[in-house]
Amino acid sequence: MEAQITTTATAPRFQEFWRVFRRNYMGLVGFIMLVVAIFVALFAPALSPYDPSSTLNVTTSDIYNPPSAAHWLGTDDAGQDVLTNFIFGARVSLTIGFFAAFISLVIGGVLGIIAGFYGGRTEELIMRFTDIMLVIPDLPLMMVVIALTKPSIFNIILVIGLLYWTTTARMVRSQTLAVKSRKFVLRARAIGSGKRHIIRRHILPLVLPILVVQAVLVVSSAVLAESTLSFLGLGDPTALSWGQMLNYAFGRGAMSTGAWWALVVPGFGIVWVVLGLTLLGQGLEQVLNPRLDTHHLMPGRPVVRNEANEDAEKPTGKSPLLEVRNLSIHYINEGSPPARAVENISFNLREGELIGLVGESGCGKTTLMLSLLRLLPSAGQIVNGRVIFNGRDLTALTEDELNSVRWSGISIVFQGAMNALNPVRTVGEQIAEAIIKHLPDFPRESLSARVVELLDLVGIAADHKDHFPHQYSGGMRQRAMIAMALACNPQVIIADEPTTALDVMIQAQILELLDKLRKKLGLAIVFVTHDLGVVAEMCDKVLVMYGGVTAEYADVDVIYNNPKHPYTQELLKAFPDLTKPKKKLSSIPGYPPRLDALPAGCRFAPRCPAAFNRCHTEQPSLHKLGDGHIASCHLVEASK
């Protein structure tokens, strides 16, 4: 019964693995190279033109003959065919490599699992020993041991196997540690399964993938080690491995006779096998342990603007400080349709105004904020709309022009300020850096005073200026981030959930601080949050987002007293109202939609208590409900 379950579970897993692996060129090339090498080794007698053991008819005139029709790769110091020896050499090199790797994997695997699983003294002892073995240089040690024993294939395999287990032991141990604390292992221990059973049934299957990658790398090290030992004259004189061929050629005059073939050919074999194994190992690693090779400095995708879609209506009266008009952002994934992360968002922001951007996590708030300064990850693309700041369209600027707007015009307070500050530079340096960049005329001698002033503004004492971020508490880091955002006197600050992950008291302090600064410095703030309480207290306007689109956009009073969109209504029900303490709080069942699987109609329809047929088929448009109040809901249209 149990066996049946495992087979049905592993077959698709292997197919899945193969499907991904097939597209990993590095791994595939390595795999093919290895298969070729093994094939050559297995069918050596059939492939080689001569019999390697035969010395018949060899005369001195056969020594170091250049490549010819009879000897495609020439002859060696004993007058033998290099190609034949090369093909048979694959057998020796691969055999030693595989057997030595096997021994070292068994030792490393067993020690690693024991250390990781049993912990305590055992682990301490094993890992300390591993550390020592890791430091002792392996080649000199191997040389000493083989010099003191007899250089035979058996001894070489043994020595390599006994010395190359250290990295395996370390990796297996850390993997075992990770697996050990997983739920199903804890459960198995709780119901009293034996330790051996747990190791065999639960830990080994999850350690195995790492062991496979490790095996590939250890085989390549072993092949290299064998060839090195042989080259240094410590190989088995009766087994002609590639390293041994090189040893003979180098030691017996191939260099002075100019017999390059005797030197090049065996080395080519070693490089082939080692490179194949390395590529295979890298490929396997990438497949089993995928990591995105993207980073923040990759060039962004060009902004596309669909003019036909653009709202023809021009804003009336004085233009606002920041105007976001019909902004849409897609995430582009090769091979699948783009994820429509943000669609058709518009809002305005005037001097000194505070707009709240509300929605559950994953509804595109952060994407929207990053796109304002074009800081999207490389997969993100602005596919429509404009961001107009002080009359300039930020989506049309070059990267250099944008750099002058960033921070001096609009700055950002990132969420989770721990990683937003560079851990190896002092907080003061990081604040001063922004000033130096944007205010080049700022007198250097008063720079330090300015940093102290900024820190003082957010309530951080001057002596913390030269401290590193890890010496700050969470709340202090967030405040330092705000001080940094204020450094160049920006007109707009984007605060992206600046209070998440902080305790309630600190949250209140930070919010109070932002509100105070807004009044004092006349800042306009875009405040991203999922906390409606904060919005009620501070904001002038609210934009409620759901699944990347506008649900409702209005003044804060309207949102609270006359919400039109069912999502806003549900959000308000989930938020405690102090005037009605007896009212029951409710939460919205379900989750926001996944961006790669958006519903056909209204994005909120699957969770909406008021949804009807039309909601599931047709996306509602943005309906204007008088003075700056916008809601996207079919019900609104019906009631209009």
Partner 1 sequence: MKRWRYLSGKISWALFTILFVIVLNFFLFRILPGDPARAGVRDPRLTRENIEAIRVRYGLDKPIINCFESLNPVKIGSCVVNPLDTQFFIYIGNLLQGDMMISFHTNRPVTEILSERLWNTVILIGAGQILAIIVGVLFGMFSAWKARTSLDYASLTISLVAWSIPTFWLGVILLFWGSNNGMPIAGMSTPGMSSYPLLTQWGDIARHMFLPTLTYTIVYMGEYMLIMRSSLLDVLSEDYILTAKAKGLSIFQILKDHAIKNAMLPLVTIIAINLGFTVGGVIQIETVFSWPGLGMTTVEALNRRDFPVLQGAFLLIAVAVILSNLLADLAYSYLDPRVKTE
What residues numbered 352-411 form the site for partner 1, per CB under 8 A?
373, 375, 400, 402-408, 411
> Of 6, 294, 309, 361, which lies in the binding site for partner 1, with binding defined by CB under 8 A?
294
Based on the shown chain and the rule CB under 8 A, indicate whether residue 216 belongs to the binding site for partner 1: no
Kindly give the interhelix angle for 153-163 and 82-118, rounded to the nearest 10 degrees: 40
Based on the shown chain and the rule CB under 8 A, indicate whether residue 143 belongs to the binding site for partner 1: yes
Instruction: Report CA dihedral (530, 533, 536, 538) to the nearest 10 degrees.
Output: -80
CB of 103 to partner 1, least distance (A): 19
Q: Which alpha helices (H) appear in 199-259, and where do they start and end?
A: 204-229, 242-251, 254-257
> What span, in angstroms and rounded, lies between the C-alpha atoms of 475 and 481?
10
> Of 6, 8, 54, 149, which lies in the binding site for partner 1, with binding defined by CB under 8 A?
149
Based on the shown chain and the rule CB under 8 A, indicate whether residue 292 belongs to the binding site for partner 1: yes
- Burial classification of residue 153, based on how many CB atoms lie within 10 Å of its CB (0-12 exposed, 13-18 middle, 19 or more buried): middle
3-state helix, strand, coil in the chain (%, to 5): 55, 10, 35
Q: In the window 12-41, what residues touch partner 1 (CB under 8 A)?
A: none
Sequence-ordered list of residues with C-beta below 8 angstroms from that of 469, at least 6 positions apart, any chain: 418, 421, 422, 423, 427, 477, 480
Instruction: Report CA dihedral (164, 165, 166, 172) to the nearest 10 degrees.
Output: 150
CB of 19 to partner 1, least distance (A): 21
> Of 255, 449, 461, 600, which lies in the binding site for partner 1, with binding defined by CB under 8 A?
255
Positive/negative CA dihedral, 41, 47, 49, 53: positive
Based on the shown chain and the rule CB under 8 A, indicate whether residue 227 belongs to the binding site for partner 1: yes
Query: Would you say 133 or 536 has its CB closer to partner 1?
Result: 133
> What span, in angstroms and rounded, lies between the C-alpha atoms of 21 and 499?
42
Site string for partner 1, 42-61 (x = CB under 8 A): --------------------
Query: Would you say 400 or 445 has its CB closer to partner 1?
Result: 400
Q: What is the DSSP string of 505-550?
A: HHHHHHHHHHHHHHHHHT-EEEEEES-HHHHHHH-SEEEEEETTEE
> Of 65, 174, 193, 228, which lies in the binding site for partner 1, with binding defined by CB under 8 A?
228
> Of 260, 442, 560, 575, which lies in the binding site for partner 1, with binding defined by CB under 8 A?
260
Query: Would you say 324 or 633 has its CB closer to partner 1?
Result: 324
Kindly give the interhelix angle for 242-251 and 260-288, rounded to the nearest 10 degrees: 150
Query: Would you say 420 or 633 has its CB closer to partner 1?
Result: 420
Based on the shown chain and the rule CB under 8 A, indicate whether residue 287 belongs to the binding site for partner 1: no
CA distances from 613 to 71, 141, 145, 601, 617 (A): 82, 78, 81, 10, 7
Q: Are 44 and 94 in contact (CB under 8 A)?
A: no
Q: In the window 312-341, what residues touch partner 1 (CB under 8 A)?
A: none
Q: How far does Cα 235 stand from its chain's mean position? A: 44
Number of chain residues interacting with partner 1 (CB under 8 A): 76
Based on the shown chain and the rule CB under 8 A, indicate whether residue 560 belongs to the binding site for partner 1: no
Query: Would you say 490 or 563 has its CB closer to partner 1?
Result: 490
Q: Are 370 and 380 in contact (CB under 8 A)?
A: yes
- The piece of 65-73, 83-91, 219-227, 571-579 that touches partner 1 (CB under 8 A) is 219-227
CB of 458 to partner 1, least distance (A): 16
Based on the shown chain and the rule CB under 8 A, indicate whether residue 468 belongs to the binding site for partner 1: yes
CB of 134 to partner 1, least distance (A): 8
Q: In the window 404-443, what residues touch partner 1 (CB under 8 A)?
A: 404-408, 411-412, 414, 416, 419-425, 433-434, 437-438
CA distances from 187 to 55, 205, 624 (A): 67, 17, 56
CB of 368 to partner 1, least distance (A): 15
> What span, in angstroms and rounded, lies between the C-alpha atoms of 125 and 115?
8
CB of 273 to partner 1, least distance (A): 9
- The piece of 40-48, 255-263, 320-328, 573-581 that touches partner 1 (CB under 8 A) is 255-263
Query: Would you say 16 or 401 has its CB closer to partner 1?
Result: 401
Based on the shown chain and the rule CB under 8 A, indicate whether residue 502 belongs to the binding site for partner 1: no
CB of 416 to partner 1, least distance (A): 7
Query: Would you say 154 or 184 has its CB closer to partner 1?
Result: 154
**Residue 433 bridge partners (DSSP):** none
Sequence-ordered list of residues with C-beta below 8 angstroms from that of 577, at least 6 positions apart, any chain: 583
- The piece of 186-194, 344-352, 464-472, 558-566 that touches partner 1 (CB under 8 A) is 464-472
CB of 622 to partner 1, least distance (A): 30
